[in-house]
Chain A
Amino acid sequence: MLFLLRDCSPLGRDPVLKKRDDFEDVLEERRNSSDLRYALRCYTPALYKGLVPCKASMLKSIVLQSDSLQYVVGQVSAECGESREAVQEEAALLLEEMAHRLQLGTIRFFAFTLSKAFKALFRGVCVNEEGIQRLQQAIQEHPVVLLPSHRSYMDFLMMSYILYTYDLALPVIAAGMDFISMKFVGEMLRMSGAFFIRRSFGGDKLYWAVFSEYVKTMLRNGYAPIEFFLEGTRSRTGKSLTPKTGLLNIVMEPFFKGEVFDVNLVPVSISYERILEESLYARELLGVPKPKESTSGLLKARRILSEDYGSMHVYFGHPVSIRSLAQGHISRSQHNLLPRHIPQKPTADTQAFVNDTAFRLVRLQEENMVLKPWVLLATLLLQNPDGMDLSTLTEQADWLRRLALAFGAFLDWPDHEPCSKVISSSLALHKNLVCVSGGRVRLVVEELPGAESATEEAGFNRAVSVLSCASYRNQILHLFVRPALIAVAMQTANCSRKDEVFNCFNFLRNVFSNEFILCPGAAVQDFEEACYLLGKCGAVQELQQDLVMSQSGQTTLAFLCSVLDPFLQGYQVVCRYLCEELEENLLENKFVPAVRSFTLQLILSGTCCYEALSSDLQKNALAALIRLKAVRRVKAGDQVTLKVNKIAVNSLEDTLGKTNVQHINIYLYSSLLNNK
């Protein structure tokens, strides 16, 4: 499935030529006029031209009476022997639990309170108004699905807030069930358009039917724009998560079945200069459980209101028409022979299409994420764990800025200020993470009173800082990951032949495809794209058969290699653990804690980087190993055990470990091929 991201000319893939819109700060007006008047102002959004007007309550009865739900109710009642009425009743309860109760009043309440909160938190909330205009157009034409990136709880509040501000139709938002437990807040969110989905409902046919019909009905009737997070959950690492396709499948189905002419998918990139949940995420990644969402927790969290979170940017991307995407790839007539209300598993073609689309959309989100200077500083600081001289940092930051721009970064670097000033203000904003003392910049690590520095606890504290910092560095990874894979591949291949480099690149790309957003099947394009970028910035020269480092390319390639280094290390650690430490089969849920303590020991002995402690990385590594069939999941009752093929894991570790290995291990490579 190479089709989605194919650009025909090298110019077409030159990211620098991508035009991006200008931003406008929506808080500016809020600082100058009454919030109350704003919250109570006249709200008359432009609506979808095919709108079937209906109230939230009527919506429920439409869903419950729909042919597709009735069909499943009949099926379930036949299967479990309960009466139709009982099953129908159950469906009604499920819908009751799920459904939103969007009310303008609640929105107005939020408009007022959030204005206050946002003004306290942020210096500015910048929105691209052209994107808003495009969205307004799109909403009138076809049903719209809003797909924001997900980095913070703030995201969906912010989305609704912005749409209200610009007098656009308010979305209904798919939210995780977690919020329901927050007594009062859950209901408030419900009334502001959130509908709640259980995190897992694997085999529950009825639940799926209620849920999917609810979403589809809102879409078909043009009830409201539908908003959900492709990534499924908040990314704790600052990297985009591999997209989930369940909801995307649901919102595409009405198009596939001809029930709507088209659906517009609008990727939205929300970027924060400073993430509210920063250290919370780092701790979570280190195994401190996520605090359960509770109202009292929320109230306690109000101290964050006194801190400065810099500015945030919300970029509404170009609406993507499903119809145009599907043109030539999906035959809608495949639905001609079955009544459309009978649920059907998507065909392999459809699934592949939806999957590709999901990746494409996440990449669109990534592309339009605004990067702050701090992201560059964090990148450099992580590569120099012992700290850097401010002057060196300034110098290198300037170099990195140019490299990033050459790669097409959407960098918000103040043009008219001297580099040093930009850097010092960035450092100031993130003073909880870095400090400058005696001209040296280093990470802030919470000191333990009277303890030695080599203890586990000290190590843990340092890891919190490193992972917090990494969550900013990670924001720029989407830009560097492909060239970095080539940089590592060039080293690993130890030969300049392009096809050798490509083989190594493809291998690494495959290993890391749970870690980064790498569209499945797009290896060749990714390779070409990265070669082009490296060529453009003068790091490599593309010859007929060869890919050679140019003289000035050393710095760039070395930098790119070290960008990937923590991940290479982390994956090796996981492999080592599985090969060396593991005696017997391991329960899956014991995997993370076990790897964590193994890693911590390595760190304390100084042979491993702190980032390897991230549970996200560890889980991704495991997923990759399972995908590569080096580890097998065996289900026994409720428990899942991991069966490790030590030879395979071992050779993977070797391959990742030796940057000078000439051939990639045959066994592994063939298993990779089998996996395609």
Chain B
Amino acid sequence: MFLKIIHACKTSKRKVQLSFCCMRSILSLSLSLSLSLSYFFFPFRHDIMKWNGWGYSDSRFLFNKKGQAEFTGKRYRLSGLILPSLKDWFEGTFGANLQHKSPATPALNVSAVPPPNLNESFVEELKAAGVALSQEPEDRVFRSHGHCLHEIFALREGRISRVPDLVVWPSCHNDVVKIVELACKHNVCLIPYGGGTSVSSALECPPEETRSIVSLDTSQMNRILWIDEKNLTAHVEAGIIGQDLERQLNESGYCTGHEPDSMEFSSLGGWVATRASGMKKNIYGNIEDLVVHIKMVTPRGVIEKSCQGPRMSTGPDIHHFIMGSEGTLGVVTEVTMKIRPVPEYQKYGSIVFPNFQQGVACLREVAKQRCAPASIRLMDNEQFQFGHALKPQVSSIFTSFLDGLKKFYITKFKGFDPHHLCVATLLFEGDREKVLQHEKQVYDIAAKFGGLAAGEDNGQRGYMLTFVIAYLRDLGMDYYVIGESFETSVPWDRVLDLCRNVKERIVRECKERGVQFPPLSTCRVTQTYDAGACVYFYFAFNYRGLSDPIHVYENVEHAAREEILANGGSLSHHHGVGKLRKEWMKEAVSTVGLGMLKSVKEYVDPSNIFGNRNLL
């Protein structure tokens, strides 16, 4: 029976995979077909994805010959559209100039990649076990980094530091068991690799590592093994990418509802390893709420619970050693997750507030009444203007007239100051009637805080911003603008103070470090909780005139994090610690807390096979 399910899934999976393959070049398809079965799903990810930037190769922002911004490709709502106001916003905000370009190295210089330091006997035994592997420079470089600014910046400049020496592609749990056994036997360092969307330097190879480093790419473990409709759970291999998981579940009428901003590229295993949070956590919960069962392979053996009871009092929850372990203890191979029927109805919405304070007060009230929609986010004024710059060309005079009218109503009639107003974006989900009822409740609360409903369109555009922001960073980097986002969580009463102080700290630090133009320093509240909120900062500046922009950038980000901690914010809400924020771990969890985590590591992985040196 069990096998049957797997089989069924595999077939349906192949269909999906084939459609996925359509996006690839015919050449790579035929190539992969000509290889043995285990190579069938061979991941030439860099054929469809950029090697030195975010996302799909075919999707990027550029300024066309007329100097207008456009977004290429066909994948997104914005794709193929002209964005007339982006140029002015871009030049105005950053003091950037389309004449001053800072283009990236066009292709990877293979000779710059250090030759692999292979552990021959390990490789031999791995080959004998039939595990797919590669030592091609492209494959290794592709898995040597996440998406921190300094990582991408170095790639664009063609600088390659330590990269994994070998990439292996296990196709199932047992493959992983084999790989980990061999790694222990031959003392090689394993770095698990899921979607590669880390923004905490978690995937960086520690330069001090002398052993052979093997990147364990989970992308081939991407099957839904079974769906249990009685208990509403699905058992899934941990390498599956977010959008594939949702799409495949949707085909059976279900979803997990877990939608982190990176869901196009990030993997289930990565979510578990970093304690990910999804946009719609208000309905579905964060990853720790969604997970029912985890299987992880460690140097000590496999760790898992013996049943799928929905809650247990069996000592500290061992899942919590796994969630957030950031690849330091083992590889998550399979996960049982809660699933829900696909909601009948979805509706976007938005609210304009006269200022950020009122907006935060409204979100707090919504959280207090526990009536938050699937997602509710509050952008500050700078981000509102940013979002506005991404408005595509209006097709009809009527729409532009309507826009003008709206603007007039809000700024003139209602007296909102365009330099203070801010916007909350909303997403409601559920059955139609309840959604409409819910919507009314939220808008009624908003009205008490001076909020005005501002339409579905603004809401939807707000969420789109999330998906394209990373593409925009690549555009910035073509014109001397570098930037990054970072996040925190903070009690309600400190939200405003933290936002103001961190934004101001960024501006001040930039000035003190010789940045010639005022930076973009903006934030939004992206999640609400009973006792606090998650705050997300975007920060970018024009680096012309700086000799070491990355160093300046890192100093400013460091200062911003210090400011966050000083204002009662957490070290991270969902990005994780990695190596980037490791220095603050002791302060964050106390010496004893850190010792606890270290002792777990000591027991599970005494030879530091999982040697990415994150977290501890």
B493 close to chain A: CB less than 8 A: yes
Name the residue in A331, A332, A335 with the highest tally of chain B Cβ atoms < 10 Å from its Cβ. Answer: A332
| CB proximity to B under 8 Å, residues A331-355 | 331-333, 335-336, 339-340
CA distance A340 to B587 in the complex (A): 20
Contact status A332-B493, CB under 8 Å: no
9-residue interface stretch from B136-144, B440-448, B496-504, B605-613: B496-504
The SS class assigned to the B binding surface is helix
CA distance A339 to B587 in the complex (A): 20
CA distance A261 to B494 in the complex (A): 13
B566 close to chain A: CB less than 8 A: yes
Closest residue to B565 on the A side, CB-wise? Answer: A333
Min CB–CB distance B581 → chain A (angstroms): 15
Contact status A332-B566, CB under 8 Å: yes
Contact status A333-B504, CB under 8 Å: no
Interface size band for B: 10 to 19
Closest residue to B357 on the A side, CB-wise? Answer: A52
CA distance A259 to B568 in the complex (A): 11
Contact status B566-A259, CB under 8 Å: no
A258 close to chain B: CB less than 8 A: yes
B567 close to chain A: CB less than 8 A: yes
Contact status B501-A333, CB under 8 Å: no
Contact status A336-B500, CB under 8 Å: no
Contact status B500-A333, CB under 8 Å: no
Contact status B500-A261, CB under 8 Å: yes
Contact status B568-A333, CB under 8 Å: yes
B505 close to chain A: CB less than 8 A: yes
Min CB–CB distance B3 → chain A (angstroms): 53
| CB proximity to A under 8 Å, residues B525-581 | 565-568
Closest residue to B567 on the A side, CB-wise? Answer: A258
Contact status A331-B493, CB under 8 Å: no
Closest residue to A254 on the B side, CB-wise? Answer: B497
CA distance A332 to B566 in the complex (A): 5
CA distance A331 to B494 in the complex (A): 16
Closest residue to A258 on the B side, CB-wise? Answer: B567
CA distance A336 to B490 in the complex (A): 10
Q: What 0/1 readout, one digit per residue, does chain A (428-441) give for beta carbons within 8 Å of chain B?
A: 00000000000000
Contact status B565-A258, CB under 8 Å: no
Contact status A261-B504, CB under 8 Å: yes
CA distance A335 to B568 in the complex (A): 8
Contact status A331-B501, CB under 8 Å: no
Asked whether A340 and B493 contact (CB < 8 A) given A258-B498, A261-B504, the answer is yes
Closest residue to A341 on the B side, CB-wise? Answer: B493
Q: What 0/1 readout, one digit per residue, does chain A (258-283) give for beta carbons within 8 Å of chain B?
A: 11010000000000000000000000
Q: What 0/1 readout, one digit per residue, does chain A (120-144) give for beta carbons within 8 Å of chain B?
A: 0000000000000000000000000
Asked whether A333 and B497 contact (CB < 8 A) given A261-B504, A261-B505, the answer is no
CA distance A339 to B491 in the complex (A): 10
Q: What 0/1 readout, one digit per residue, does chain A (233-268) give for beta carbons within 8 Å of chain B?
A: 000000000000000000000000011010000000
CA distance A259 to B500 in the complex (A): 9
CB neighbours (8 Å) of B587 from chain A are 333
Contact status B493-A258, CB under 8 Å: no
Asked whether A339 and B493 contact (CB < 8 A) given A258-B501, A261-B500, the answer is yes
CA distance A213 to B26 in the complex (A): 72
CB neighbours (8 Å) of B504 from chain A are 261
CB neighbours (8 Å) of B505 from chain A are 261
CB neighbours (8 Å) of B568 from chain A are 258, 333, 335-336
Known interface pairs A258-B498, A333-B587, A336-B568; 20 further A-B residue pairs with C-beta atoms within 8 A, sorted by A's residue number: A50-B500, A258-B494, A258-B497, A258-B501, A258-B566, A258-B567, A258-B568, A259-B497, A261-B500, A261-B501, A261-B504, A331-B566, A332-B567, A333-B565, A333-B566, A333-B568, A335-B568, A339-B493, A340-B493, A340-B494
Binding site for B on A (CB under 8 A): 50, 258-259, 261, 331-333, 335-336, 339-340
Binding site for A on B (CB under 8 A): 493-494, 497-498, 500-501, 504-505, 565-568, 587
19 A/B residue pairs, CB under 8 Å, sorted by A: A50-B500, A258-B494, A258-B498, A258-B566, A258-B567, A258-B568, A259-B497, A261-B500, A261-B501, A261-B505, A331-B566, A332-B567, A333-B565, A333-B566, A333-B568, A333-B587, A335-B568, A339-B493, A340-B494
Going nearest first, the 6 A-B pairs with the smallest beta carbon separation are: A332-B566, A258-B567, A336-B568, A258-B497, A261-B504, A261-B501
